[in-house]
Amino acid sequence: MSKRFGIPARTEDVVAHEIAHEWFGGSVTESTWADLWLSEGFATYFAGLFIEKYDGEDAFRDYLRNAAARYFAYEKQHLTPIHDTETQDLMRLLNENNYQKGAWVLHMLRKRLGDEIFFRGLRDYYRAHAEANATTEDLRDALEKVSGQNLHEFFKRWVYGTGHPSYQMSWSWKAVTEKNVTVTITLNQTQAAAPFLDPVPIEVVARGLGSSRITITPTGKTTTAEFTLPWEPAVVRLDPDETLMREVVTK
C-alpha cells in the first residue's frame, strides 16, 4: 500500500509506468525490437523513481528487490540477453529482461555514475531523440559523453550478454601492528557464465567503532583483496546499499 496516496502499490507503479511511456516509448521510441528495453526498462525504472520520491527509500528498495526476484525466476527458464535479436515472436519480448532487468541496468548505471551525471545524461539522450527513434548505442553514447567514462564493457556484459552475478564472500583478519589489522576478503562468483567485473562495494563494521566502506573490483571469477584498518572487524557486508543486481550465496 502506498503510504503517500493510500492506494495499492501495484496500482501506483502501473500508473507511473504508463505515464513514463509518454517520454520513453512514446516520444523516444526504440529503433528496433531488440532495443525494447529503452521503452519498458525505462518505464519500469521511472515508476520506481516515483515510488522513491513519494514513498521513500525503503519502498524503493522493496520495488527493486521484487524486480530482481522476478528476473531471476525468468532467467532460470530463458537465458537470453536484453538486446535479443533472435526472438521473432514479438510478444515474447514483453518479458522480465526488458522490464525488470532493464530497470536494474539503469539503476546500476545511476549508482556507478552518480545522480547528477546520470540524470544529465538521460536528459541529453532524451533531447537528442525526442519525437524520433533511439538505439541502445545512442543511450550508451549519451552517458559516455556526459560522464567521460567508457561504458562499453558494462553494456557488453549487462545488455548484450546474459545472466547476473552470484557472489560468495569470505573474509578474515590479522593484527599487523598494535593499532592496525589487515582484512582479507575473497570474492567468488559462482554463476556458470563469465564473470561480471563491476566494482563491488563492501562495508566493514567494527563493534562499537563505526564502519568503513571499501570497493573490490573483480578481475575474474575469484578476486582476493587486502585492506588495512585501525580496528578489528565484526561484520563484513557485501553491497550493503543494493547497488548491483546480484545474488549472494552463503556457504
Q: Which residues contact 222 (CB under 8 A, 6 or more apart)?
A: 186, 187, 188, 189
Q: Is 91 exposed, middle or buried (0-12, 13-18, 19+ CB in 10 A)?
A: exposed
At residue 211, the 3 state secondary structure works out as: strand
From the candidates 18, 22, 57, 226, which is the catalytic residue? 18
Q: Count CB neighbours of 151 within 10 A.
A: 18
Q: Which residue ranges does the chain devote to CATH 2.60.40.1840?
A: 166-248
| Domain 9-158 architecture | Orthogonal Bundle (1.10)
pTM of the model: 0.95
pLDDT in tens, 194-211: 999 999 999 999 877 788
Q: Are 175 and 244 in contact (CB under 8 A)?
A: no
- Give CATH 1.10.390.10 domain extents, the chain: 9-158
Residue 1 confidence (pLDDT): 65
Model confidence at 248: pLDDT above 70: yes
Q: Which residues contact 123 (CB under 8 A, 6 or more apart)?
A: none
CATH H-level, domain 166-248: superfamily: Aminopeptidase N, middle-beta domain (2.60.40.1840)
C-alpha cell at 71: 528476473
Residue 218's Cα: distance from chain center in Å?
A: 16
**pLDDT tens-digit series, residues 98-157:** 999 999 999 999 999 999 999 999 999 999 999 999 999 999 999 999 999 999 999 999
Which backbone phi and psi does 204 adopt, to 5 degrees?
-110, 120
CA nearest neighbour of 159 among 233, 77, 85: 85
Known catalytic residue at 18: yes
The confidence score (pLDDT) of residue 57 equals 95
- At 140 the three-state DSSP class reads helix
